[in-house]
């Protein structure tokens, strides 16, 4: 009788379902976006790259410039094609395990309005945050 119970427990243990990790959507977001900056002074910017545990980014940065490029950018849009000529390079040429938050500071050289997005390359695809505007005084 004990042998039968042991065999049944072993068989049950080998067939029970193992719960799967939920898949996290991949996204990039600036958090929180600064509303204004001073020309010539460092402006802190933080962004978060959300992805499933185990994912890796081979590039992440904030890309910025004087012209707006509204709308969403697809995963095929490279930084060169994004319309943002400047970059915050702190994490642009290394690989990082995800999910993770990043911080840096941009020095906007002149007063006016600047537009920016955070960006990450994951699995060869480009992920972009929404576009943000910042008033530079």
Provide the CATH number for the domain around residue 85: 2.60.40.10
pTM above threshold 0.85: no
Residue 79 has pLDDT above 80, yes or no: yes
Determine the pLDDT at residue 17: 36
CB-based contact 58:113 (threshold 8 Å): no
Q: Which residues contact 64 (CB under 8 A, 6 or more apart)?
A: 84, 86, 87, 88, 106, 108, 114, 115, 116, 117
Mean pLDDT of 16-37: 70
Beta partners for 119? Answer: 61, 128
d(CA 131, CA 122) in angstroms, rounded, equals: 19
Residue 40 covered by a domain: yes
Tell me which of 12-21, 70-79, 92-101, 124-133 is least confident. Answer: 12-21
Domain count, the chain: 1
The Cα 44–Cα 71 span in angstroms is 24
Residue 77 lies in a domain: yes
Residue range of the domain that includes 121: 22-136
State mean pLDDT over 54-71: 96
How would residue 80 be classed by pLDDT, with cut points 50, 70 and 90?
Answer: very high
Residue 17 domain flag = no
Structure-token pair, residue 88? 């915050």
Whole-angstrom distance, CA of residue 16 vs CA of residue 18:
7
């Amino acid at each position: 009788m004990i042998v039968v119970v042991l065999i049944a427990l072993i068989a049950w243990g080998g067939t029970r379902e193992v719960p799967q990790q939920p898949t996290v959507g991949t996204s990039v977001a600036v958090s929180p976006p600064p509303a204004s900056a001073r020309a010539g002074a460092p402006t802190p910017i933080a962004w978060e790259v959300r992805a499933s545990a185990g994912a890796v980014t081979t590039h992440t940065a904030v890309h910025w410039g004087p012209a707006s490029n509204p709308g969403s950018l697809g995963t095929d849009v490279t930084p060169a094609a994004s319309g943002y000529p400047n970059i915050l390079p702190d994490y642009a040429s290394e690989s990082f395990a995800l999910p993770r938050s990043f911080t840096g500071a941009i020095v906007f050289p002149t007063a006016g309005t600047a537009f920016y997005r955070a960006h990450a390359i994951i699995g060869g695809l480009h992920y972009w945050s929404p576009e943000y505007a910042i008033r530079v005084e």
